[in-house]
Structure 1
Amino acid sequence: MYRFAKTAVNITGQAVRQVRHGSSAPQDFHSKYGTGVLLSGAVFCTAVWGFVLTQTGIAWNLSPVGKVMPKEWRGAEE
């Protein structure tokens, strides 16, 4: 149990040090590329949905109420 507790404290200490000092990634990534990534994602999403809505021919489950008329019953066979 002592070895487990010692290892747990060591891992926790390493995590605290890593959070305190930050990761190795530069902190200006978002300010450099954030707007471009956001805009390119919005353009991609708009283009994909534009294609889906206009070119794929999907039936979008529109309500058939008032559009579908029942067929007449067959006459009694004589």
Structure 2
Amino acid sequence: MYRFAKAALNLTGRASRQVAVRHASSDLSPEFHAKYGTPLLIAGATFCTAVWGYVITSTGIVWNLSPVGKVQPKEWKE
């Protein structure tokens, strides 16, 4: 178990160093997010709203939100 934990920590340390080096040398991320971030967020929110609007109004799903008044006790049989 000790060898497994030591190997896992070694892998995570190595992976975190690789990610740090990758992010330090990348100059494309800030430009992409500055250029396309807001339109992508708006498009995603619009798509999500449209899909849920369709599901709620057109699919015919019965949304039984509250069972109050709908559940009746059965008659007692002797």
Alignment TM-score, normalising by the size of structure 1: 0.55
TM-score w.r.t. the length of structure 2 is: 0.55
Stretches of 4+ moved more than 2 A in 1?
14-17, 19-27, 62-72
Indicate the percent of aligned positions where both proteins have the same amino acid. Answer: 56
Return 5+ residue gaps in structure 2 as ranges.
Answer: 1-10
- Structure whose CA Rg is larger: 1
The alpha-carbon deviation at position 26 of structure 1 amounts to: 4.4
Q: Gapped runs of 5+ residues in structure 1?
A: 1-7, 73-78
Q: How many residues get paired?
A: 63
**Cα root mean square deviation, aligned:** 3.6
Partner of 2:25: 22
Q: Spell out, residue by residue over 1:22-66, the C-alpha distance to the aligned partner (whole angstroms, 9 max, x if none).
A: 236343111100010000001001000000000001111233433
